[in-house]
C-alpha cells in the first residue's frame, strides 16, 4: 500500500477507533477492510466487515455520545479522516451532502429490522 497517497495507513489488528472514546471524526475507507466490534463483558462481537468505499464513525458527527463500537484494521487499510467541524459546516451550506450518510444509515436500519424479525421468529 503506497504511503505517499491520501489518508493514513493502519496495519493489521490496529485499532482505528475504540468503543467508549469521544469522537470528532468519521472515516472513509480508501483501501483494505476493517471489522466493527462491540465489546461486552470482556467479549467481542463482530457486527460488520466494512471495505473500500464504506465509511464508519459517522454517528459521532450527528450526536455527542461516545463511540458505540471499536473498529480494527483487517490487514493493511488506508482511511481518510473527515473532520466533524468541516463536514457540519459544509452540510449547513449544502444539506444534500448528508444524503449519502442518510442512505447508508437507512440501509443499516433496514438490515437491523431484518435481524430483529429473525431473532423474534427464529427464522
Partner 1 sequence: MLSLDENSRVAVIGAGPAGTFFSYFLFAMAERVGQEIQLDIFESRNFASPGPSGCNMCGGIVSESLVQTLATEGINLPASVIQRGIDSYVLHMDVGSVKIETPLQEKRIGAVHRGAGPRGNQEGQWDSFDNFLLKLARDKGANIISGRVDEIRWEDGRPAVKVRGGESRVYDLLVVAVGVNTATLKLFQDMDIKYTAPETTKTFICEYALGKEKIENYLGSSMHTYLLKIPRLEFAAMIPKGEYATVCMLGKKIDKELVQSFLNTPEVKRCLPPDWDSQQEACRCMPKINIKGSSHPFSDRLIFVGDCGISRLYKDGIGAAYKTAKAAATTAVFTGISEEALKQRFWPACQKLEKDNRIGKLIFSSVGLIQSFPFARRAILRMVAKEQQNRGMPQRMSTSLWDLFTGSAPYREVLLRMAHPLFLSSLIWNIVIELWPFRRRKQKGRSHEEE
Binding site for partner 1 (CB under 8 A): 2, 4-8, 28, 30-31, 52-53, 55, 80-83, 86-87, 90, 93-94, 96-97, 99-101
Nearer to partner 1, 37 or 79 (CB): 79
Listed in sequence order, the DSSP H helices in 53-98 are 59-62, 84-93
Nearer to partner 1, 38 or 89 (CB): 89
How far apart (Å, rounded) are the C-alpha atoms in residues 47 and 38? 7
Q: How many CB atoms lie within 10 A of CB 16?
A: 19
Tell me which DSSP letter residue 65 carries: P
- Find the shortest distance in angstroms from Cβ 54 to partner 1: 10
- Find the shortest distance in angstroms from Cβ 107 to partner 1: 13
Amino acid at each position: 500500500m503506497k504511503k505517499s497517497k491520501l489518508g493514513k495507513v493502519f496495519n493489521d489488528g490496529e485499532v482505528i477507533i475504540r468503543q467508549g472514546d469521544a469522537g470528532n471524526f468519521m472515516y472513509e475507507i480508501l483501501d483494505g477492510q476493517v471489522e466493527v466490534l462491540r465489546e461486552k463483558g470482556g467479549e467481542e462481537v463482530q457486527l460488520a466487515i466494512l471495505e473500500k468505499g464504506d465509511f464508519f464513525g459517522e454517528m459521532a458527527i450527528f450526536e455527542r455520545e461516545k463511540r458505540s463500537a471499536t473498529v480494527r484494521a483487517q490487514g493493511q487499510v488506508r482511511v481518510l479522516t473527515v473532520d466533524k467541524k468541516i463536514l457540519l459546516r459544509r452540510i449547513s451550506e449544502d444539506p444534500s451532502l448528508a444524503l449519502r450518510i442518510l442512505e447508508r444509515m437507512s440501509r443499516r436500519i433496514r438490515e437491523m429490522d431484518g435481524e430483529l424479525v429473525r431473532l423474534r421468529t427464529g427464522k
